[in-house]
Structure 1
Amino acid sequence: MQLLSHLADADIRRYVTGTVDPETERHVRVCVCCALRLADAAMQAYWWERRGPLGRLVRLNNTQAVDELLTEIAREQRRDAA
């Protein structure tokens, strides 16, 4: 597989929401930059809250926030690079 460019934000969004194609999977395995971007987006895309009488942790799926988080991550990466 040729590594021509980093993943686009749309690719990251699809990956976080669970729609993964083999090309994206291979790219993430060999590209540290994209793997870190993906990890940041995935960690921030889910929130946890305590529910029920026992207060068990339940993962809340908030994939709508992925766009905002990708923008924030890109902004931080540009700031760090400068």
Structure 2
Amino acid sequence: MTNKPKEIVDIDAGDANNELFAVEYLEDIYKFYKIVENENRPHDYMNSQPEINEKMRAILTDWLVDLHTKFQLSPEALYLAT
């Protein structure tokens, strides 16, 4: 890969002088969420759903995408539904 990493923009820099934003804790909060991100990710969920198999899930997902397109829903709605 020859892609250079994107420049990281500090989106909280404008709030540094506002004590209500508690900017001094942001780095710790980001580190914490990065650590627990994998703990909350679903693991091997298909075994916990004996009433549905992979083929049925694929059909359901296709149906949800069709509905999303038909009703012109937001991308967030499709993301949450699948």
TM-score normalized with structure 1 length: 0.30
State which structure, 1 or 2, has the greater radius of gyration over its C-alpha atoms: 2
TM-score normalized with structure 2 length: 0.30
Q: Please identify which structure carries the higher strand content.
A: 1
Which structure has more relative contact order (CA 8 Å, sep 6+)? It is 1
